[in-house]
Amino acid sequence: MDGKTIRRERKRRGWSQRDLAARIGVGPRTVGAWERGENSADGGHDLLRDLFASVPPKVVENDAAAVRPLDAYSDAVLLGELMRRAVDREEPSPSK
């Protein structure tokens, strides 16, 4: 994922660099360096992709790009989100 994509996806969600950094466990300067293309997000690509896929962008009036149709997500991302939600809903089993 290149810096322009990281910046675009971050802004579409209304996050500051500090907000994104806190969500993925890096410093805001690191996010800024990625966005400027000074450093690569090596190792963070999967994390960023999954985070952006799991948090929908804010819908801004007249922003057709902010609304992603369901088929724009990969099957793996959709299945992962469904599994996460199913696990979140499961109640703990009673102890014997």
The domain spanning residue 26 has which CATH number?
1.10.260
CA dihedral of 90, 54, 67, 22, whole degrees rounded to 10: 130
For the chain, the domain total comes to 1
Residue 46 domain-assigned (yes or no): yes
| Assigned domain for 33 exists | yes
User: Which residue shows structure tokens 């948090």?
Assistant: 55
Q: Which domain holds residue 11?
A: 3-89
Closest by alpha carbon to 46, among 1, 93, 82, 11? 1
Q: Is 59 inside any structural domain?
A: yes
pLDDT, tens digit, 9 for 90 and up, residues 12-30: 999 999 999 999 888 999 9
Q: Give Cβ neighbours of residue 50 (< 8 Å, ≥ 6 apart).
A: 77, 80
Q: Which phi and psi angles does 5 have, rounded to 5°?
A: -65, -45
Cβ 31 vs Cβ 5: under 8 Å? no
> What pLDDT is stored for residue 61 in this prediction?
47
Reported as a single tens digit per residue, the pLDDT across 22-74 is 998 889 999 999 999 888 877 777 888 888 888 888 765 445 555 566 666 77
